[in-house]
């Protein structure tokens, strides 16, 4: 289990408690909410992600840790996004905006965090190894080939389905936006997001945290090796806009079909060994098991970014850049999901993060003679 994932659940629990405390305080007219709001800010600062924006083209700055796995990176982004949502919701609830305090966003933020906490906790909970029977040797070469095909297909389907849920959740909201803003946001991937919010203390802290999340996710696309993912984000948007998005499209986008074709080639190669196929099958089962935690975090990002867009809409009259920010948030999450999918299904542009399906299956291929 990655370090950030292990730290994510207790950090999120702290934010949930702080949000509930502020909500209960605001419900009591005899209690000054200033202390509860200050405690909420302190909880956000304590839980600040230890995972900074991963840079592929340079070493981290002194004192700046680098993400070691995709789960670390995405868990850090999700924690920061949940923190931004909580701060913005607290600003609205405490009437920093001046339009009358409304606690519905605060409650929605707490509920969203709790749902995510339960999902991630379940995904990382100890359990018997996926398909424990894979530890046993196949009875013969044909059985090993069948296991190899099945293991690869299961791992690929998990990634396709997990990525599809993220795109489905976000895409439904993207269709409500101006198409030009979405394209502008896609074009801005890899660049830092510029935003200024002349609002209250909590809101400013929330906007600052939101900007950090967008910069972190957008930073994934600074590396030339990931430039192709930008094009795929645009392809997804075009399919969403035309309501042509389907599972087969996603399988093509993440190279699942190509990987399955290669599995068949390897299984049919002369000289392929039973033991090599079984080892790859075991590693593919482990990869699928590992993707559970990544998928839980990605789904959390998708639901959190939808809430973030609703919160941003509340500030639209004082922050004219809000529509572009919403588009940028949606685009960044879809891009992040595609980057992770590419790492798990392909040889992966995220060097060192994960041994993807293409890497594992090639290990079963006998050397050329």
198 contacts: CB under 8 Å, gap ≥ 6: 318
Supply the pLDDT for residue 196: 54
- CA-to-CA distance for 332 and 286, rounded, in angstroms? 28
Rounded to an integer, what is the distance from CA 316 to the centroid of its chain?
Answer: 26
Nearest to 364 by CA among 256, 275, 251: 275
Nearest to 48 by CA among 1, 82, 90: 82
Output the pTM of the full model.
0.82
Nearest to 14 by CA among 92, 82, 67: 82
DSSP for 164-207 reads: HHHHHHHHHHHTTS-HHHHHHHHHTTTS-------S-HHHHHHH
- CA-to-CA distance for 76 and 91, rounded, in angstroms? 23
Nearest to 111 by CA among 6, 45, 214, 15: 15
If the chain, 369 residues long, is cut into consecutive pieces of 10 residues, what is the mean pLDDT of each piece?
70 94 90 91 79 38 50 83 94 82 92 93 69 67 93 92 89 78 68 60 87 77 64 79 73 83 92 92 89 88 90 72 74 84 71 77 81
Query: Measured between alpha carbons, how far is residue 28 from residues 21, 34, 35 in Å?
Result: 11, 13, 13
Please tell me the total number of residues recorded for the chain in this structure.
369
Nearest to 167 by CA among 356, 346, 331, 340: 331
Task: Please answer whether residues 3 and 68 qualify as being in contact, where contact means their C-beta atoms are separated by less than 8 angstroms.
Answer: yes
Locate the domains of the chain by residue range. 3-362
Residue whose entry in the numeric block shows the structure tokens 């900007």: 211
């Amino acid at each position: 289990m990655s370090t950030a994932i292990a730290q994510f659940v207790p950090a999120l629990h702290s934010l949930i408690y702080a949000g509930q405390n502020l909500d209960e305080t605001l419900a009591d007219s005899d209690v000054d909410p200033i202390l509860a709001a200050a405690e909420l800010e302190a909880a956000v600062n304590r839980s600040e992600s230890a995972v900074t924006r991963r840079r592929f083209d340079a070493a981290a700055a002194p004192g700046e840790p680098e993400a070691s796995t995709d789960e670390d990176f995405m868990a850090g982004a999700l924690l920061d996004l949940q923190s931004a949502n909580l701060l913005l919701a607290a600003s609205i609830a405490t009437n920093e905006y001046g339009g009358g305090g409304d606690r519905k966003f605060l409650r929605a933020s707490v509920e969203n965090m709790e749902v995510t906490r339960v999902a991630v906790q379940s995904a990382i909970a100890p359990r018997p190894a996926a398909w424990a029977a894979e530890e046993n040797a196949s009875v013969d070469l044909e059985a090993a080939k069948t296991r190899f095909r099945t293991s690869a297909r299961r791992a690929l389907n998990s990634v396709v389905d997990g990525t599809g849920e993220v795109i489905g959740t976000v895409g439904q909201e993207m269709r409500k936006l101006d198409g030009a803003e979405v394209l502008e946001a896609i074009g801005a991937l890899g660049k830092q997001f510029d935003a200024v919010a002349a609002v209250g203390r909590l809101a400013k802290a929330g906007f600052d945290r939101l900007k950090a999340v967008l910069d972190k996710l957008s930073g994934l696309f600074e590396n030339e090796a990931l430039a192709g993912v930008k094009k795929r984000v645009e392809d997804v948007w075009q399919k969403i806009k035309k309501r042509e998005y389907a599972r087969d499209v996603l399988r093509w986008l993440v190279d699942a079909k190509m990987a399955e074709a290669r599995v068949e080639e390897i299984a049919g190669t002369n000289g392929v060994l039973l033991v090599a196929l079984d080892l790859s099958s075991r590693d593919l089962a482990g990869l699928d098991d590992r993707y559970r935690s990544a998928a839980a975090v990605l789904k959390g990002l998708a639901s959190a970014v939808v809430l973030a867009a609703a919160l941003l809409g509340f500030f639209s009259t004082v922050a004219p850049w809000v529509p572009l920010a919403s588009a940028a948030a949606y685009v960044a999450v879809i891009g992040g999901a595609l980057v992770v999918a590419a790492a798990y299904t392909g040889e992966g542009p995220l060097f060192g993060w994960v041994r993807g399906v293409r890497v594992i299956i090639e290990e079963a291929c006998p050397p050329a003679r």
